[in-house]
Chains A and B, each alone.
Chain A
Amino acid sequence: MIGPSVAWVATETSEAWLVALWRLLTLADYNSRVVILGTALLGCAAGVVGSFTLLRKRALVGDAISHAMLPGLGIAFLVATLSGGDGRSLPILLTGATISGLIGAAAILGLRSTWRLSEDAAFGIVLSVFFGAGVALLGVIQSLEAGHAAGLEGFIYGKTASLSWTDLMSIVSAAAVALLMCAMYFKELALLCFDQAYAESQGYSKWWLDGLLMSLVVGVAITGMQAVGLILVIALLIIPAAAARFWTHRLSRQVVISAGIGMAGCFGGGMASALLPNLPAGAVIILACAILFLFSLMFGSSQGMVWRAIRRWQWQQIMLRQHLLRAVYERAETKISAPEIAGESEVRIDIADLMISRSWSKPLLERLVDNAQREGLVTRIGSQVALSRSGWIQAKRLTHQHRLWEMYLITHADVALQQVDRLADDIEHVLEPSIIHELEQLVQGRTVEVAKSPHQLPEPN
């Protein structure tokens, strides 16, 4: 279904298309310049404000408040029309919408504090009741005079592709005010988000700070709604802020990254919708933001899923290698009487024996041995392995740690002998030298090179 546009792009890789791209990138076109600059600024402001609402666990507040603006719009229109004025005059409509947005915000805070309703219930109530009132009012208006109401709906759903110079100016001023407020009250807002009780103990009123944050949301929503539409505003208030969380946990950086993602999404989305035919700008911008979110989710430097998966995989490899070394060492122990003083390449262990000791599959064990050999920890001789010098040292240390922990579990944690091996398997990799020392004192009262195993060691065959 996206065929036609793709085909269009493919066949038009001629100069004309490059020129169009160039004109767009340099913002030479008046129309695209206004659209892209306007939405990007809005994305920036929404990204900043959204960071705070997200941390305050009120990500959906923009959703509730922007829906709560509808009845104000209807009332403003009705009052203006019935008193003989122009019902579609922008200042009147904006005033009405702002007032009802603020009332909605106050209602959310009131429902929260007076009746202890949860955040999301308060959002749902304000959203649905206010929006219902707005729908009913629009119904009245439509029955009043069909022609007039049409403009009002466009007001909610926006007209991203046809932003005017006045829209741009109002976005510029609103964004400037929002950014300025956030900068001025950064410390206070941060306190509100992270430790409300502490903020209150420092003499900041919760009401004033929450009110400030809500007012900022109302400001962004009202500017954005008439310019780019309800859903896009909601998306811009949520998606960039949520994406920024994957990159950092410092609030100051998070705000900047969120603003950047908001701007980038708007910029990219605006470009795409201008270049490709038949793509509504608002929707494309949301999708661009969503793609940036997905990218952050995957590759974000702090919480990205890919890095997390890689870290987990690396850790698993370390654990497996350490298990291999210990398995070899423990087999070696059964073959010679005093493994502490034995040389490294003296003792050769059958790989088949190792397989029994840890229930590894053959391919896995082969891979482990190969990897360990590459790191110079073991040497492979036919179907046998022997520890190298550094492997020998590491294996001794690991075995020591494993057994210390086993002993500790038996003597101090009352864990049954049959269970300690598995429990120690998880812990032996993360024991620090200071803990080892403490364990040695605790379990044995002296320092030895390799502790005795609490298990009955199998006889060499």
Chain B
Amino acid sequence: MGLDGWIWALDGWILVAAVLCAVSCSLLGNFLVLRGTSMLGDAISHAVLPGLAVAFWISGSRSGTGMFVAAVAAAVVTVFLIETLRRTAGVDRGASMGVVFTAMFALGIIMIVQVADHVDLDPNCVLYGSIELTPLDQWEIAGWLIPKAVVTLGITLLLNGLFVALFYKELLLTTFDSDLADSMGISSQVIHYGLMTLVAITAVASFESVGSVLVVAMMVVPPASALMMTDRLSGMLAWSAGLAAMAAVMGHGSAIVVPSWFGMGSTLTSGMMAVSAGGILMVCGLVGGRRGLVTRWVRQRAFAAQVAADDVLGFLFRLEERAKSNAPTSAATTGHEPSESLTTKNPATAVQLSTNLGQSLPQSMRVLSGLVRRGEVEPSGAGYCLTDAGRRRAQLLVRSHRLWELYLVEQAQYEIDRIHEKAEAWEHVTDESMRESLDRATSQTALDPHGSQIPPEVERHNP
């Protein structure tokens, strides 16, 4: 059970190769996902076959750089054909990918059967190197025995990293607004084909050493996971690289561990890496800071709670207001501002609140206890009334509400019986600067369309 079979000399190198491959694929994958060409990895993995056949036909062997160059060439041709079909013939991008890669694959199969019927050039295994075998094929570099795959994948990662770092601005612009890029003198065509050539090189380098499953997965899944975490390209690049490396490590571990739970031997690492990436995507989809379901749910709950509290405060504020206007208006007639001391306490009970605000009684009580804890409401007799802090917040809310009503009538020509609902919805998200703009946009009257006083802005540093 567990990682008993772990041998550093083997598993360590497998991990290094897998992480290098995962990170370099996911770096470029971000741009594929953002540009709507996520399936390119899959398309290329099938379409390199004729290139391999031609290389084999010319060189007669199935190893060496000839194969590599031919495969990259085939991949670039594929990309070019896909793009040409899409641009000049107006074929849907997905369809043009499908047409090109299946046709190339078929061509490759036929060529291989013609060329190498009796030679060991099996279409299923010539493509797919096995990551388990990476430690076996080693090169000696400066006295160190380093697996060939680690060297090639390291170079690939370096290339991709450099490309992304050097052309970050160009990639960003061409990905999100190619027209703007073109108008700024950045050729989106050149960047596109540069990116695609690099994708081709990365894909082929990875097929050879770790197999195609991993490439297709790492070009899509970690970038999609990163999209759950952030909306910024730089953040997305960092997240996707980190998550891809994590998926690689987890995948290799689980390939050894998981089957042993069912009493079986270890399974293929690359498959488990893809599965791990999928698992990570699920986790990010749940708790991701940007689009995660749980995050979104928590955010919604918090907002709902804020709205409920706002409603209670606003209700209490209006109660006080009504009481004030009903009270003998001696202060007003003598010309003095009604001072705080004149404010009569107007407690409202939880039952009163819940019936008036359409909240359930437990909800109202929960909201009230929360407000009491924050010192914005205090118990008073049988009910609750505003504290000074609560009154300040409520005053701003009511101000926002009434400014919106005024604005809707004056500037947006709304009927007076339709403004309340809108103002009710927007008062919760209106901050000081927006209130200021509203105030400026409306006439300088002190009354809202219903004839109620619009309370003034609260002084920030009230002693």
Residues on A lying within 8 angstroms of B by beta carbon are 1-2, 4-5, 54, 57-60, 62-63, 114-121, 123-125, 127-129, 131-140, 143-144, 153, 157, 231-232, 234-235, 237-239, 241-242, 245-246, 278-280, 282-287, 289-290, 293, 297, 303, 305
Is the C-beta of B349 less than 8 angstroms from some C-beta in chain A?
A: no
Q: Which residues of B contact A232 (CB under 8 A)?
A: 102
Q: Which residues of B contact A128 (CB under 8 A)?
A: 41-42, 213, 216-217, 220-221, 274, 277-278
Q: Which residues of B contact A303 (CB under 8 A)?
A: 89-90
**Which residues of B225-269 are within 8 A (CB) of A?**
227-228, 255, 259, 262, 264-268
A144 touches B99 (CB 8 A): no
- Smallest beta-carbon distance A353→chain B, Å: 40
Inter-chain CA distance A120–B29, complex, in Å, is: 12
Q: Which residues of A contact B216 (CB under 8 A)?
A: 124, 127-128, 131
Inter-chain CA distance A135–B215, complex, in Å, is: 14
**Which residues of B19-60 are within 8 A (CB) of A?**
33, 36-39, 41-42, 46, 57
B288-331 near A? 1/0 per residue, CB < 8 Å: 00010100000000000000000000000000000000000000
Inter-chain CA distance A125–B291, complex, in Å, is: 17
A235 touches B102 (CB 8 A): yes
Q: Which residues of A contact B438 (CB under 8 A)?
A: none
Count of A-B residue pairs with CB < 8 Å: 215
Given A136-B271, A235-B103, A238-B99: A287 in contact with B91 (beta carbons within 8 A): no
Determine the main DSSP class of B at the interface with A.
helix
B124 touches A157 (CB 8 A): yes
A123 touches B39 (CB 8 A): yes
Stretch of B67-75, B104-112, B202-210, B397-405 that contacts chain A: B104-112
Q: Which residues of B contact A231 (CB under 8 A)?
A: 46, 102, 105-106
Inter-chain CA distance A232–B33, complex, in Å, is: 26
Is the C-beta of B224 less than 8 angstroms from some C-beta in chain A?
A: yes
Residues on B lying within 8 angstroms of A by beta carbon are 33, 36-39, 41-42, 46, 57, 85, 88-99, 102-103, 105-107, 109-111, 113-115, 117, 124, 213-214, 216-217, 219-221, 223-224, 227-228, 255, 259, 262, 264-268, 270-275, 277-278, 281, 285, 291, 293
- Smallest beta-carbon distance B299→chain A, Å: 15
**B213 partner, pick from A1, A131, A246, beta carbons under 8 A:** A131
Given A117-B227, A245-B91: A129 in contact with B293 (beta carbons within 8 A): no
Known: A117-B224, A125-B220, A129-B275. 13 other contacts (CB 8 A): A59-B97, A115-B291, A121-B38, A121-B220, A125-B221, A129-B277, A132-B214, A133-B274, A136-B272, A140-B265, A239-B103, A283-B106, A284-B106
Q: Which residues of A contact B41 (CB under 8 A)?
A: 124, 128
From A5, A232, A239, A283, residue with most partner B Cβ within 10 Å: A283
Q: Which residue of B lies closest to A298 (CB)?
A: B89
Given A2-B114, A123-B38, A124-B219: A132 in contact with B266 (beta carbons within 8 A): no
Q: Which residues of B contact A285 (CB under 8 A)?
A: 106
**A137 partner, pick from B38, B46, B113, B267, beta carbons under 8 A:** B267
- Smallest beta-carbon distance A217→chain B, Å: 13
A238 touches B89 (CB 8 A): no
Q: Which residue of B lies closest to A242 (CB)?
A: B95
B38 touches A120 (CB 8 A): yes
10 cross-chain pairs, A with B, having the tightest CB-CB distances, nearest first: A132-B274, A136-B271, A124-B220, A129-B278, A135-B271, A238-B98, A286-B106, A128-B217, A139-B268, A139-B267
Inter-chain CA distance A297–B117, complex, in Å, is: 33
**A59 partner, pick from B36, B94, B271, beta carbons under 8 A:** B94
A116 touches B291 (CB 8 A): yes
